[in-house]
Structure 1
Amino acid sequence: MAPMETNEFPNPNPMRLPPGFRFHPTDEELVVQYLKRKALSRPLPAAIIPEIELRKISPHKLLGGFTGEKYFFNLRETKGGNRKVGGFMVGTGRGYWKPMGTEKPVMSSRGDELVGTKQILVFCRALGSQTKWVMHELRLAKNELPYIASNNLVASGKEWVACRIFAKRRESMKRRGRSRRPLSSSESSSTSCITSLPDEECSIGEEVTS
């Protein structure tokens, strides 16, 4: 497995998109079209999400003054085949990611299938005070893990997760945005800059030959 980048935001083979397009996947798209394919060693729709070892880099180094969302793949540890749920330290006393609430289900657009889970975390300084940095950590549904482990698609004791990291908006920005009508789930999905690929292409089982 190639070494993971730890000191910059890599951009291998960037996808050439028309001006004005942004990478803004829904939770379902991020799990099914990107995370699931990553875990199965399948080709991704676009080489747009880098691998980062988040335990080694604080969010302000990853994002700096960037005000939008950035996406990363991160290898999380598992213990005895069971996934670890919760926060983790960053560097040597730099701070830690603290989970807020419990994991939430990520359902298919049809609403009848659990495709993954989402945990919200906030980055805290070493003394416990919260910062502006927020992370959405998305995982595959647990029923996907045995196949991945049995076929040695990831290092033993590890699990790929997809992370969406951004800075919380200031209160004044929130007030200005309240008058804007939020997109419905169908509208949000239709405005993705990546064309949705058939779920069958990344299904678990005999179709996976790599």
Structure 2
Amino acid sequence: MVQTMAYKPECISYSAYTEGFRFHPTDRELMKYLLHYVIDNPLPTLVPIEEEDLYLKDPWVFFDARKEKTIYCFTELKKLKKGNMRFVRTVGDGSWKSQDRGKAIISEKGSVLGYKRSLRYQLRGSEHDGQWLMKEYSLSAEVKNQLRKQLRENNKENYVLCRVKRKNGEYRKNEEDGPIVQKEAIETEELNAIISDPLNGVLKPVPTLNLTL
């Protein structure tokens, strides 16, 4: 059974959207947040990722009255039929369409943690057609298999982490640190080490200039 580490994030009075800070995680960090969420490990209070059903409302509804241009959320994928490997992708009158087959996201040791898939919102004839983009992060089958063996029950296996933004929103490409030799299998020791990581340093300070007038 996975030994999860319970920890209390440092109490800070400002919110995740405090001026001077921004949430700009790498693909690898997002995959680790998803892993911790799936096994019910607590995330730091400064991580602005909430649980939302992205297939319940149209994408622009989630952005209504929000100031951020990009939304991060955990959402559950629902299968078309029991035993079927395909998931429901429709929402309202539109649907999220895959744009690629997915890119492997690897750990610092080269293990495949999961995959990142690009999707685009499609609603032909609408002003919203193609104007909403999603990056969907999902755990690999190998990681899920190990979690099944170690956990008594896991009700969040079909959850993914999504990054949704307007097409004309600001976007900066994630850069992973250095070349790593990729391997398909992940060792139990490495997986447990990631699970035990308290996920520190999730917010990066934005450089500012102090000008005296």
- Note whether the superposition's TM-score is higher than 0.5: yes
Which residue is 2:40 aligned to?
Answer: 41
Question: Counterpart of 1:137 in 2: which secondary structure?
Answer: strand
Aligned CA-pair RMSD: 3.4
**Equivalent of 1:185 in 157, 162, 176:** 176
Larger helix fraction of residues: 1
Q: Counterpart of 1:138?
A: 137
Residue in 1 aligned with 2:114? 116
Instruction: Give the drift of 1:123.
Output: 0.3
Larger strand proportion, structure 1 or 2?
1
The aligned counterpart of 2:71 is: 70
Q: Is the alpha carbon distance of 1:102 and 1:201 closer, same or farther for their aligned partners in structure 2, counting shifts above 3 Å?
A: closer
Name the counterpart of 1:102: 101
Q: Is the contact made by 1:35 and 1:162 (CA closer than 8 Å) also made in structure 2?
A: yes
Distance in 2, Cα, partners of 1:14 & 1:60: 30
What CA distance in whole angstroms lies between the structure 1 residues aligned with 2:22 and 2:116?
22
Cα distance in 1 for residues equivalent to 2:145 and 2:82: 12
- Kindly indicate whether structure 1 or structure 2 has the higher relative contact order, using CA contacts under 8 Å at least 6 residues apart: 2
1:153 paired with 2:146, answer no
Sort the Cα spacing of 1:161 and 1:149 in 2 relative to 1 into closer, same or farther, 3 A: same
One-letter identity of the residue aligned with 2:54:
L
Q: Percent identity?
A: 26
Equivalent residue for 1:84, pick from 83, 86, 91: 86
- 1:109, distance to aligned residue in structure 2 (A): 3.5
Equivalent in the alignment of 1:3:
none
Q: Secondary structure at the match of 2:193?
A: helix
- Structure 2: runs of 5 or more not aligned: 1-11, 179-190, 197-213
Give the whole-Å Cα distance in 1 for the aligned partners of 2:85 and 2:14. 32
Counterparts of 1:14 and 1:71, CA distance in 2: 22
Unpaired runs of 5+ residues, structure 1, are 1-12, 188-197, 204-210
Paired residue secondary structure (1:53): coil
User: What SS class does the counterpart of residue 101 from structure 1 fall into?
Assistant: coil
Residue 21 of structure 2 corresponds to residue 28 of structure 1: no
Letter in 1 for 2:21: F
Deviation string for 1:101-149 (max 9, x for gaps)?
Answer: 2111111234x11111011000011558832100000001111223445
Residue of structure 2 aligned with 1:200, choices 187, 193, 204: 193
> For each residue in 1:45-68, what CA deviation from the matched residue of structure 2 results, as whole angstroms up to 9, or x when unmatched?
235211111111111111247562
CA distance in 2, matches of 1:200, 1:120: 29
Aligned 8 A contact 2:118 2:133 in 1: yes
* Deviation string, structure 1 residues 164-183 (Cα, Å, up to 9, x no partner): 0011128xx89xx9xxxx77
Structure 1 residue 39: deviation in Å? Answer: 0.7
Aligned residue number for residue 54 of structure 1: 54
Write the letter of the residue equivalent to 1:28: R
Measure the CA separation in 2 of the matches of 1:14 and 1:68: 23
Scaled by the length of structure 2, the TM-score of the pair is: 0.64
Aligned residues: 166
